[in-house]
A and B are shown apart, each in its own frame.
Chain A
Amino acid sequence: MDTSELIKKINRLAEGKKKLRIMEVCGTHTVAIFRAGIRQILPDNVELVSGPGCPVCVTNDDYIDTAIAYALEENFIVATFGDMLKVPGSRSSLAAAQAQGSNIKVIYSPLDCIKIAQDNPNKKIIFLAVGFETTAPTAAATVLSAQAKGLKNLFMLSAQKLVPPVLKFLLNSPDFRVDGFLLPGHVAVVIGADAFNFLSIPSAVAGFEAEEILLAIASVLEQIDNGRAEVANKYPAVVTAAGNVTAQKILSRVYEVADSEWRGMELIPNSGLRIREEFAKFDIEQVEPVKIEKVKKKNACRCGEVLRGLVNPTQCPLFGKACTPSRAVGACMVSVEGVCAAWYKYGSNNFRW
C-alpha cells in the first residue's frame, strides 16, 4: 500500500464517524507530524492532540531551580543535554546561569560525563538525568560505569519520568477525552510493546517517518472501526513485545520507581525514578543537598492544560505574544520538541487553527 492508498484507507475508516481525537505522546512524533504535514492531510473529523511526550516540558520548576542552585556554586560542573538550557525555572534558567559564569557543559551522551569527571578531579560533576524510559537506562549505565572506574566526583540529579503511569493518570482524569494513542516508538524499544497492554483504548506504537505515523493512525482508526482496543506494534523494526531486557535490568539495578511531579499536572504515583539506596553516593541530592525557595509562579501560561491535551497552544493567551521560542514563558515553548514550539514553528498559515 503506498501513501495515497494509506490516506484513502484513513479517510474511509473515518467517514461518518464522530470527531475522533488521537493523542501522540512523544515530542519527536509531534515534530514529525508537523514537518510532514500530517494534520493537514487527515480527514476533518480526525484530530491529532499532543500529550505529555516531551521530557523537558514536563520537568517542573523545582528541578530547574535546584539545578541552577548547584550550577551557581563554584565547585560544581553541571552537564546536561542542550534542550534543558532554556527551560524556565521559577526565576531564571540554566542558560541565564551560564551567562552569569556558571560552569554548565552541554553534552551528547551521559557517558561524556565520565571524561569530564576524570579531567576535573577537583570539581563535582552533576548530570541532569531527565528523560523517559528511553534515556533513563543511559544514566543508570553511566552510574555503573562510574562505579566500575572508581569515580567519586560524578553525580546524578534525577527526575526521569515513566510513560505508562502518566497514560494511566490521563485515562483516569474526568476531563480527558481522547479516542486513541500513538505510542512512543523509542520508549517502547526499551520497555516493550507489551508494557502498554493495560491501555483501555485503541493504541499503536509508531515509528518516526511520515508513512510509519500514518500506518499507526490507520491502525488506531481500524481498531475504532472494529470496536477493538489493543496495542498494535507498527514499529516492528526495533520494537519487540518484551523490549530491551538488558536496559531494563540495568535501569532497575540503579533506580527504583517513585512518585513524581509533572509540570502542569500533579504528583503522579509511581511515575518517576529515584536512585536506590545502594547507589546513594551517586545521588547529589543525598550527598550534598541544596535548599531552594519554593516559589509559586503566577502567570497566564496554560502549559499544564496543553500537556494534558485539554487546550491547543493557540488557546493560551501568551502563545506567540509574550511566549515565543526565543523568550519562552512556558516549558512547552522551550524545547524544539515542545508542543507550543512545534505549533509556533510549523503552525502559522499552514493549516487552520
Chain B
Amino acid sequence: MCLAFPAKVLEVEGDLATVERSGVKRKASLMLLPEAKVGDYVLIHAGFAMQVIDEQELKIRDALVAEMNGAPRSVNLELGIRN
C-alpha cells in the first residue's frame, strides 16, 4: 500500500504537478506539499507529493539501485558517492 517513489517536478499548474521518474511522467497533486517547485525532487505517494528530497541523498539511492543492478561499487554510506 505505502509505495512511495522519488520523482522530479517538471511543471506546476495550480496544485497539480507533472513529475518524472526514469522517463515516466505522471501528474501528482501538490495539495500536501505546496512549497514544491519546478526542479525539486519529491517523494510521491498515492498520487501526492509528500516531501522534498535532498538531491544528494537521492543520488546515493539511485547509485545503490544501480549497484543492485550490477553497476560497480560506488556508494560509501558515510562519505556519499565516490568520484
Contacts and interface: CB of A to CB of B under 8 A. Distances in A.
B4 interface: yes
Contacts, number: 112
B33 interface: yes
Given A186-B4, A237-B57, A141 B32 contact: yes
A112 B1 contact: no
Given A1-B77, A186-B4, A135 B61 contact: no
Contact of A189 (B1, B34, B43): B43
A134 B45 contact: yes
In the complex, which of the residues A132, A135, A236, A238 has the most CB atoms of chain B within 10 Å of its own CB atom? A238
A261 interface: no
Interface residues of A, number: 47
B64 interface: yes
A44 interface: no
Contact of A186 (B2, B33, B73, B77): B2
Interface in A215-255: 215, 236-240, 244, 246-247, 250
A2 B43 contact: no
8 contacts: A2-B76, A28-B2, A55-B2, A110-B46, A134-B2, A138-B48, A184-B2, A236-B57
Interface of A: 1-3, 6, 26-28, 54-56, 81, 83, 108-112, 130-132, 134-135, 137-138, 141, 144-145, 184, 186-187, 189-190, 209-211, 215, 236-240, 244, 246-247, 250, 335, 337
9 residue pairs, one from A and one from B, having the closest CB atoms: A109-B47, A237-B57, A247-B32, A141-B31, A238-B51, A138-B46, A109-B46, A138-B48, A189-B51
